[in-house]
């Protein structure tokens, strides 16, 4: 039985039914000529979402991505250091002393998965620092994701691959020069490293890596060029936080601050998150609240699946891919 057949036979109510509705809405949006922006919060790259997301990118089901700095770098960490990762199923029972032992071994824990500092983080730092310094000395500047595209497309890391490269969503995005925004990149391991190299003087111009404001300007251009009444742009949000909050604001900015009232609203919206509806939580806000902010319309197809995105997102992607 195909995955889609199994899901449609068994997933009939509650969050399970919402999963089916969201997936079918995604397909309908694409079939009607729409495009889709996918946002990645949390540590979805370390959860190896690349296995399904890379295929979505390959098949043209994703047209732009907004992600945290952590998701940007952790896909590459996994690509070059997978064999050195350690999984800790009993992570809920770790004592402070056991956590300290992981620190002493330079194993940075993300829930049940430890990322090796030397084999992953420092290896990438050594490669990307050359690109940062090269751009700095040439008086050039690029976005964080563009530096990653450079090191991936150069082939310098190929000898270090420890997973099948077809399962790296960032590598797939780089091959297609997929439009991307990485708001709050400074809040990431390599963002911290970059700041350190600026402080130490290795990099002279702090703006060698472009900022979030420049990302918003870039996103405004992309959205204006891609969202039309005949082909709207959808918004598929995995998790909450800045990866989703940042890009969804581009529409009210275009309308209210630039007076481009002819630009359509987001044409589809889905959020997959375990952030339950609550007071004052944007990540837990129901989609209709976004109507009041000029992000979604009354008739925008809206879906929310309150569940673990590491489980739900690959299943939705399976349906979209007709698997």
- Give pLDDT, residue 92: 97
- Give pLDDT, residue 271: 96
CA proximity to 45, closest of 98, 124, 131: 124
Alpha helices in 201-308 (DSSP H): 212-226, 242-248, 250-252
Alpha helices in 201-297 (DSSP H): 212-226, 242-248, 250-252
- Give pLDDT, residue 285: 83
Q: Which residues pair with 67 in a beta bridge?
A: 40
- DSSP designation for 205: -
- Give pLDDT, residue 227: 97
Distance between CA atoms of residues 120 and 73, nearest Å: 10
CB atoms near residue 282 (< 10 Å): 15
Enter the tokens of residue 224: 């204006």
Distance between CA atoms of residues 319 and 55, nearest Å: 12
- Give pLDDT, residue 284: 78
Q: Are 309 and 271 in contact (CB under 8 A)?
A: no
- Give pLDDT, residue 306: 93
pTM of the predicted model, to two decimals? Answer: 0.96
Below-70 pLDDT ranges, the chain: none
Distance between CA atoms of residues 242 and 184, nearest Å: 7
- Give pLDDT, residue 286: 87
Enter the tokens of residue 233: 């742009």
- Give pLDDT, residue 50: 98
- Give pLDDT, residue 280: 77
């Amino acid at each position: 039985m195909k995955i889609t057949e199994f899901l449609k036979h068994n997933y009939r109510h509650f969050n399970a039914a919402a999963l089916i509705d969201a997936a079918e809405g995604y397909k309908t949006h694409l079939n009607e000529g729409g495009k889709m922006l996918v946002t990645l919060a949390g540590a979805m790259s370390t959860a190896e979402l690349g296995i399904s997301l890379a295929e979505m990118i390959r098949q043209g089901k994703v047209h732009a991505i907004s992600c945290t700095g952590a998701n940007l770098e952790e896909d590459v960490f996994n690509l070059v250091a997978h064999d050195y990762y350690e999984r800790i199923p009993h992570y809920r029972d770790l004592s402070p002393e056991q956590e300290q032992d992981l620190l002493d071994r330079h194993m940075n824990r993300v829930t049940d998965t430890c990322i090796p500092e030397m084999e992953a983080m420092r290896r990438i730092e050594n490669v990307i620092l050359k690109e940062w310094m090269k751009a700095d000395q040439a008086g050039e500047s690029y976005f964080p994701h563009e530096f990653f595209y450079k090191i991936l497309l150069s082939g310098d890391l190929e000898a270090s691959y420890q997973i099948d490269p077809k399962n790296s969503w960032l590598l797939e995005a780089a091959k297609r020069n997929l439009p991307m925004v990485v708001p709050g990149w400074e809040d990431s391991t390599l963002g911290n490293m970059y700041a350190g190299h600026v402080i130490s003087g290795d990099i002279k111009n702090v703006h060698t890596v472009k900022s979030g404001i420049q990302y918003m300007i870039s996103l405004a251009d992309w959205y204006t060029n891609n969202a039309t009444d005949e082909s709207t742009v959808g918004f598929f949000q995995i998790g909450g936080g800045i990866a989703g909050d940042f890009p969804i604001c581009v529409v009210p900015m275009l309308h209210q601050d630039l007076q481009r009232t002819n630009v359509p609203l987001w044409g589809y919206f889905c959020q997959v998150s375990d952030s339950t509806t609550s007071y004052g939580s944007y990540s837990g806000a129901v989609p209709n609240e976004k109507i009041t902010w000029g992000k979604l319309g009354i008739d925008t197809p809206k879906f929310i699946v309150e569940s673990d995105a590491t489980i739900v997102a690959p299943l939705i992607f399976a349906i979209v891919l007709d698997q």
